[in-house]
């Protein structure tokens, strides 16, 4: 996982998540940026009902951004 911020701009934008019919379930409700140089280690036990809010709405977009970050 990588750090994401809604206040600190980096080269890689990460838009707010929009889930049709699921208002209020996603914690990523503001546009932000991904800090691909700031890897975050999270144990599987920390990803649970209380912390996990959703999946990436457009996984192909995410994979494209990861490829761009790796190329830099």
Identify which has the larger pLDDT, 72 or 34: 34
Over residues 12-71, the pLDDT tens digits come to 888 888 777 665 567 788 899 988 888 889 888 888 877 777 766 666 777 787 788 777
On whether the CB atoms of residues 11 and 70 are closer than 8 A, the answer is: no
CA distance linking residue 19 with residue 3, whole number of Å:
22
pTM, 2 dp: 0.59
Q: Do you know the residue count of the chain?
A: 72
On whether the CB atoms of residues 16 and 28 are closer than 8 A, the answer is: yes
**3-state SS, residue 38:** strand
């Amino acid at each position: 996982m990588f750090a994401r911020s809604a206040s600190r701009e980096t080269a890689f934008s990460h838009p707010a998540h929009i889930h049709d019919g699921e208002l209020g379930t996603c914690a990523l409700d503001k546009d932000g940026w991904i800090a691909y140089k700031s890897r975050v280690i999270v144990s599987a036990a920390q990803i649970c009902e209380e912390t996990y809010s959703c999946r990436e709405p457009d996984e192909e977009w995410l994979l494209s951004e990861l490829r761009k970050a790796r190329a830099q």
